[in-house]
A and B are shown apart, each in its own frame.
Chain A
Amino acid sequence: MSEAEKGTNPSKEMSRSRCLFRRQKAGEENTLANALQRTAKRWSRPGSPVLRRFRRHELGMVSVGVLSLLVLMAIFAPLICRQGPYELELTERNAPPSREHILGCDNVGRDMWARLIYGARVSLSVGVFAVSISTVIAILVGGASGFFGGVVDMLVMRFTDIMMCFPFFLLIITLATMLKPSVINIILIIGLTGWTGMSRLVRAQILSVKEEDYVLAARSVGVPTGRILFRHVIPNALTPVLVSAPMRVAGAIMAEAGLSFLGVGVQDPMPSWGNMMTNALSLPILKDMPSRWLPPAVLLALITLSVNFAGDALRDALDPKTRLH
C-alpha cells in the first residue's frame, strides 16, 4: 500500500491554480495537519507572494494590529484592570468617569473598564469556538454529501434547504430563549446552526476536486475511500473555507452580541459587550451616561470591522482572482 501511495504522490498531479497545499516532501505523510503546517511555513516565508499580497492590504494590516491588541487585552485582562469585573463597590453606584474608574461604574458599582476588558474574552471565544464547530460540521457534512452523492447528498441537501428557510437569527433567538443561557450554550447554538451555507460551499468544491486526476489515480490503486476523502479531497477543497472563516467569526461575534443585547445570550453578572449595551435601552442612561454604552459599542464595531478587514486581506492574498474590486 505504501508503495502504491508513493506512486500516486498527489502533489505531482495537482493543478497549480486550485491547489492550496502543495510541495510535499518525499516520505512525509500527507495528513491534514502536515499539509496545514507546510502551507503555513510556505506562506510566512519572507517574500512569499501570499504574504506580500496580504501586506499590500493596508487596512488589513492595521486590522491585524487592532485584533492582536484586543486578543492581548483579553488574555492579560487581570493585569490591565485594577478591579475585577464582578467586584461591587456600593458607594460608587452610577459613578461618572474618574481617575479611580476610567469609565465610571454601573448601577451596582462595578468598574465599567474592567467589565469592558473582560467582555472581550466572551466575544472572542464565542467567535472562535462557534466558527470552529460550524466549520468542522460543514466540512464533514458537505464533504460526505459531495463525495458520496446519491441518497446521502439528497438527504443532506434537503435538510440544509429546510435549515436555510429558518431566518437564521430567529432560529438562534428561539433556541437561546429556551436553553439555559450560558457562554457554552451560546457557542453551541451559533456553532450548531451556522454550518448550512458553508456546507454547500464545501460540497460544491468537493464535487469539482473529486473529478481531478489524482483522485482517480488514488482510487484506481485501491486507496480506501475514507483515506481519499481525508487526505486528498478535503485538503484540496479547503481554500473557500479558510477564506470565509474570518467573515463567519465576525458574524458569530455579531450574533452573540445581538443575543446578549436582547437579554437571551450571556447573562449578567458575566460581562459581554452585548449585554452591556442593553443599558442603552433605558433612555436616561442613553441620554446622559454615554460612558455606560458607548465604549462597548465602539469596541464591538472595532472588532467586527477589523475581523472583516483582515478577512478581506486574507482573501486578496490567497485567492487574488476573486478580489472584490
Chain B
Amino acid sequence: MTRYIIRRLLIAIPVLFGLTVATFAMTAVMPGDYVDTLISPDKVIELGVSPEALARLREHYGFNKPIHERYLIWLRELVLHGNLGNSLLSGDPVLSEIGRRLPRTLQLTVPALFLAMTLGTLMGVVQALHLQSFFDNLANLLAFLWMSVPSFVFAILSVYIFALKIPIFPTGGAEPLRTTADEAFGLLTHLRYMILPLLMLTVSAMPSYMRFARNSLLEVIHSDYITVARSKGLTEKIITVRHALRNALMPLITITGLSVPGLIGGAFIIETVFVWPGMGKWGMLGSGLRDYPAIVGMNLVASTLVLMSNLMTDIAYAWADPRIRYE
C-alpha cells in the first residue's frame, strides 16, 4: 500500500510539471502582456510614452527574457524557496494571496462535495429501492434539471426568491459588513451567509451521485449472489444493507474524484453571484489584467487540488475494494 501511494505521488510530479509548462505556454501564446494592461497600446502615442520606456518596463518585469528562461527562473524559485512569485497587481506574494482566499473557496466546495455525496447517494438508493414510485420519478426529473440547467440560473433564482422576495437569507457576501473592527459573528450568522451558495453548489454536483447510485444498485440487485442470498432466506433488509449496498456503492468513490474539477469551476460562478470573497473574483481579475504569476499560481493550485483528489480517490478505492491490486 505504502509503495502504491509513493508510486502514485511520483507519477503526479511529471503531471504537475507538464501542467506548469502548459500554463506558462498559454500565457506566452496569448496576445498582450501586463505592460499592455498598464499602458494600452492604442494610447502609447497619446500618452507620449516612448518605445524605450516601454522596453524598460518590460525589462523591469522580466518580459524581455525568452519564455523558457522565465519558466526556469519561476521553477527554481518554486522548488528551492516554495515561492510562486509576487502578484504584479498587488505586489504581494502569490502564495499569501492564495492563502487568504483559498480557505473561503474550500469553505464552500468541501461541504458541498460531502453534502452532494451523502444526499445524492441517499436519494439514488431510495430511488432504486422504490423503482417507478412518485419519489423516483420526481428525483429523476430533478436530477435532469440540475444537470442540464447552468448553476448560475438557479443561483440567481434563489437570490430572487429567498433573499429578495422572501428575505430569509442575505443576498451575498460571506459575513455582515463590520461596523467595528473587533465585532465577532456567531456561527449562525456565518451559516446564514453560507447556506444559499452552498446549496446551489451542492445541487450542481448531486445529479451524478443520484444517477450513479440508482443505476449501480439496480444492477447489483439483479445479480446472482443477491438471488442466492434471497434463496438462503435472508431478510430483505440484510440483503440490501449487507450484500447489495456494499457492492453497489463502491464505484461511487470514483465519481467523487471526477466531480472535484466541476466543483472548482462551479465555485467560480457561484462566488460571482453571491459576491463570495474566494479565489473566483481574484482569479478573474488576475487573468483579465495579465497578472502572470497569479494566473500560473491559481491554475497550479487548482490542478494540484484535482490531482490530490484523484490520488485520494484511487487510494480509497484500492482500500475499499480488495480486488483492485496495487502493484
Contacts and interface: CB of A to CB of B under 8 A. Distances in A.
Given A178-B27, A300-B150, A308-B148, A286 B156 contact: yes
B287 A178 contact: yes
Contacts of B284: 173, 177, 262, 264
A170 B152 contact: no
B307 interface: yes
A301 B153 contact: yes
A272 to B, nearest CB: 13
B288 A264 contact: yes
Contacts of A163: 22
Contacts, number: 141
A305 B307 CA distance: 31
A168 interface: yes
Contacts of A257: 150, 152
Interface string B118-149: 00000000000000000000001000110111
B250 interface: no
Contacts of B30: 175, 178-179
Contact of A304 (B148, B160, B164, B303): B148
A100 B208 CA distance: 45
Interface in A265-324: 277, 280-281, 283, 286-287, 290, 293, 297, 300-301, 304-305, 307-309, 324
A53 B298 CA distance: 47
B302 A167 contact: yes
Contacts of A301: 145, 148-149, 153
B283 interface: yes
B19 A162 contact: yes
B211 A324 contact: yes
B265 A170 contact: yes
Contacts of B55: none
A324 B215 contact: yes
A167 B164 contact: no
Nearest to A305: B148
Interface string A24-41: 000000000000000000
A12 interface: no
Contacts of A283: 164, 171
A290 B261 CA distance: 32
B18 A162 contact: yes
Question: Which one of B149, B171, B264 has the highest number of Cβ atoms from chain A below 10 Å of its Cβ?
Answer: B149
A312 B217 CA distance: 21
Contact of A169 (B32, B149, B218, B266): B266
Contacts of B164: 283, 286-287
A280 B152 CA distance: 10
Contact of A162 (B15, B157, B159, B171): B15
A173 B298 CA distance: 12
Contacts of B153: 277, 297, 300-301
Tell me what chain A mostly uses at the interface: helix, strand, loop, or mixed: helix
Contacts of A287: 160, 164-165
A9 to B, nearest CB: 38
B19 A165 contact: yes
A280 B154 CA distance: 12
A262 B269 contact: yes
Nearest to A307: B148
Contacts of B283: 170, 173-174
A254 B147 CA distance: 11
A167 B306 CA distance: 7
Given A165-B307, A174-B26, A309-B144, A261 B19 contact: no
B31 interface: yes
B22 A162 contact: yes
B65 to A, nearest CB: 20
A31 to B, nearest CB: 35
Contacts of B268: 169-170, 173, 262
Contact of A261 (B27, B152, B218, B299): B152
Contacts of B19: 162, 165-166
A293 B157 CA distance: 10
B273 interface: yes
Question: Which one of A167, A168, A171, A286 has the highest number of Cβ atoms from chain B below 10 Å of its Cβ?
Answer: A167
A32 B178 CA distance: 66
Question: Which one of B148, B266, B295 has the highest number of Cβ atoms from chain A below 10 Å of its Cβ?
Answer: B148
B160 A177 contact: no
A308 B269 contact: no
Contacts of B214: 325
Interface string B307-327: 100100000000000000000
Interface in B22-37: 22, 26-27, 30-32
Question: Which one of B153, B261, B262 has the highest number of Cβ atoms from chain A below 10 Å of its Cβ?
Answer: B153
Nearest to A283: B171
B264 A170 contact: yes
Interface of B: 15, 18-19, 22, 26-27, 30-32, 140, 144-145, 147-150, 152-153, 156-157, 159-160, 164-165, 171, 211, 214-215, 218, 260-262, 264-266, 268-269, 272-273, 283-284, 287-288, 290, 295, 298-299, 302-303, 306-307, 310
8 contacts: A159-B18, A170-B302, A174-B287, A177-B284, A178-B288, A180-B31, A264-B288, A304-B150
Given A159-B18, A166-B299, A300-B149, 7 more contacts: A162-B15, A162-B19, A170-B302, A175-B30, A177-B288, A262-B269, A304-B148
Top 6 A-B pairs ranked by shortest CB distance?
Answer: A169-B265, A167-B261, A178-B30, A177-B287, A167-B264, A301-B149
